[in-house]
Structure 1
Amino acid sequence: MALVRLLLQFMMEIFVLPVSILQFVGVWDPLYKRFFPYLMFRITAVINDKMGKVKKELFSKLPDFAGSSGLTILEMGCGSGANFQYYPRGCKVICIDPNPNFEHFLEKSRAENEHVKVEKFIVASGEDLSQVATGSVDVVVCTLVLCTVRDIDLVLNEVTRVLRPGGAFFFMEHVVANETTWLHFFQHVIQPAWRYFGDGCYLTRDTWTNLEKANFSELNLTRITAPFKWSLISCHIIGYGVK
């Protein structure tokens, strides 16, 4: 079975060879980064419809980590602001995303969610949050983002740096399926193409291992199956880690 999987992966690499060439010459990424926010604006509406109850329950714990001056949230990989509707009234939000083309959609979400105060939008990657002061935020939120970053451990180091003592990192991420399942097999087969059309997304990451070895004093992590029929991203982990 392993040999079959490798063969199919090789065939998939051949299939996406034209895209690989476009990326190598520097054409693919600029074009796709302009198109991707439009795609994600549509997709996140579907995700919120399916995962709204999960998000609402998870983010109901956000007020527990408010500081003396209220709740300040840093949302990493904010995208179009799909999580704003689940945030508590009066909270302040700092938005970070490496793609500047999300700002238009972010403004739309800001107008539709006046109960939150969006302080600023910073164009940066999760590996470099240098524009955010050490120990300056109560909560960092990250949903369906760690699948795309270059270095999860470096991102988590930055997360714990910007969190104040006692602050929390809230996450909802899709992960690789159990290796005994067909889903695991197809995740690896499709991955060579998925990375191009999912903005660098990896279906095959065991992100829970990075969270378990990160510098959190407490980690609350739950595995769930998302209600996406025939989906390659149905395996999820959700929860929060306390600094």
Structure 2
Amino acid sequence: MRCLVALPAVAVPGRRSHPNLKPRRRSTLVAILGSCRCGRRHLLGASSAAGLLHLVNPPCLAAPAIDPDVMLERVHPARPGWYEKLYATAMDKGMQSYEAEIAQYKSNLFSQLSVAGKNILELGVGTGPNLKYYASADGVNVIGVDPNIYMEEYSRAAATSAGLPSSNFTFRRGVGEALPAEDGSMDAVIGTLVLCSVKDTDMALREIKRVLKPGGLYLFIEHVAAADGSFLLLVQGALDPLQQFVADGCHLTRKTAENIKEAGFSSLSLNAPINDMLCLFGTEPCGVCSEIILVLAHFCSVIAPGGLSVFS
């Protein structure tokens, strides 16, 4: 199944005050069980979403309402060291079959992004499985954001393996609700299987827009809820509490594509490839978001008027 959606330019609304957030609990079962098929993101999976968005006008540039370190402690306070280390190891070992299955898709997706000399923020960098697809370009600078400090060792190793100089990679403990980056400082934000687990999806999307430069891109792969009225959605609803318990707060029933459509980006390319390794029952939509109205083209790419790719 494939779906392409074009959204008109939308003025970015003023930033709302952030609601009080309570820390969520996380079970050691996720580490003991080796997490889910897509790590902490995705126990049984479902449909998912991806696209590309651009803004005609600069986004509403405002510093996060709450300091990133304060938000980190609210949303994802540090777990015991032994647990976070075990969890990082489980993610590193348990994701290999998934990464092998989706490798060609990721290669096609990230090949559209020319990142030479650009600043990239990857939200939920984890063990760094995406770095090999985009971090080898000359002069690229990457900020990898993840709440688990033990992911740094793995992501740094992945960056080195991708050919990224250590001086060009910065690891920051952080969460999507308050990104540790300046307003309008990023050429691209990348996030794969992340929005299913953030505490507040809309807040994370506002933060992504805040740190993007005008014309910057948001590339994503996300699993989302199955179609309304489907048997799969009933199954997801029944399993969702267990999924959150064992998979670091991952939700099976989020309509993430709808959140992205309503986030105020001006264009979106969305498609939904089938991937049996990603889920037992559903599909996995994915794509790229960015900020400027352009003409949509095929397979998660956007082509500017006159045939100029926005990725070059």
TM superposition score normalised by structure 1: 0.80
SS for the counterpart of 1:94 is strand
The match for 2:269 among 220, 223, 233 is 220
Letter in 1 for 2:119: T
Q: In the alignment, which residue of structure 2 is the partner of 1:58?
A: 109
Instruction: State the 1:44 CA deviation.
Output: 2.6
Separation (CA, whole Å) in 2 of partners of 1:124 and 1:229: 26
Query: Are residues 1:124 and 2:124 paired?
Result: no
Separation (CA, whole Å) in 2 of partners of 1:235 and 1:227: 8
Separation (CA, whole Å) in 1 of partners of 2:79 and 2:100: 29
Give aligned pairs, total. Answer: 212
Separation (CA, whole Å) in 2 of partners of 1:52 and 1:229: 12
Separation (CA, whole Å) in 2 of partners of 1:115 and 1:132: 20
Separation (CA, whole Å) in 1 of partners of 2:152 and 2:223: 24
Instruction: State the 1:86 CA deviation.
Output: 0.8
The match for 2:126 among 79, 92, 109 is 79
Q: In the alignment, which residue of structure 2 is the partner of 1:44?
A: 95
Separation (CA, whole Å) in 1 of partners of 2:248 and 2:234: 21
Letter in 1 for 2:137: R
Aligned counterparts, 1:79-228, within 5 A: 79-87=126-134, 88-90=136-138, 91-115=140-164, 118-129=168-179, 131-228=180-277
The match for 1:236 among 284, 295, 299 is 284
Per-residue CA deviations over 1:97-130 (Å, capped at 9, x if unaligned) read 111121121122123211466421010110011x
SS for the counterpart of 1:39 is helix
Separation (CA, whole Å) in 2 of partners of 1:59 and 1:111: 18
Separation (CA, whole Å) in 1 of partners of 2:285 and 2:125: 18
Identical-pair percentage: 33
Letter in 1 for 2:277: F
Q: In the alignment, which residue of structure 1 is the partner of 2:7?
A: none
Instruction: State the 1:43 CA deviation.
Output: 2.9
Instruction: State the 1:61 CA deviation.
Output: 1.4
Query: Are residues 1:70 and 2:117 paired?
Result: yes
Per-residue CA deviations over 1:26-67 (Å, capped at 9, x if unaligned) read xx954643322112112332221111111111111111xx5x
The unaligned stretches of length 5 or more in structure 1 are 1-18, 21-27
Separation (CA, whole Å) in 2 of partners of 1:81 and 1:43: 14
Instruction: State the 1:170 CA deviation.
Output: 0.4
Separation (CA, whole Å) in 2 of partners of 1:133 and 1:127: 14
Structure having the larger proportion of residues in helix: 1
SS for the counterpart of 2:273 is strand
SS for the counterpart of 2:285 is strand
Separation (CA, whole Å) in 2 of partners of 1:149 and 1:202: 9
Answer whether contact 1:36 1:199 (CA < 8 A) is retained: no
* CA RMSD after TM alignment: 2.2
Letter in 2 for 1:145: V
Letter in 2 for 1:44: M
SS for the counterpart of 2:269 is strand
Q: In the alignment, which residue of structure 2 is the partner of 1:25?
A: none
Structure having the larger proportion of residues in strand: 1
Instruction: State the 1:162 CA deviation.
Output: 0.4
Per-residue CA deviations over 1:2-29 (Å, capped at 9, x if unaligned) read xxxxxxxxxxxxxxxxx69xxxxxxx95
TM superposition score normalised by structure 2: 0.63
* Greater relative contact order (CA < 8 Å, ≥ 6 in sequence): 2
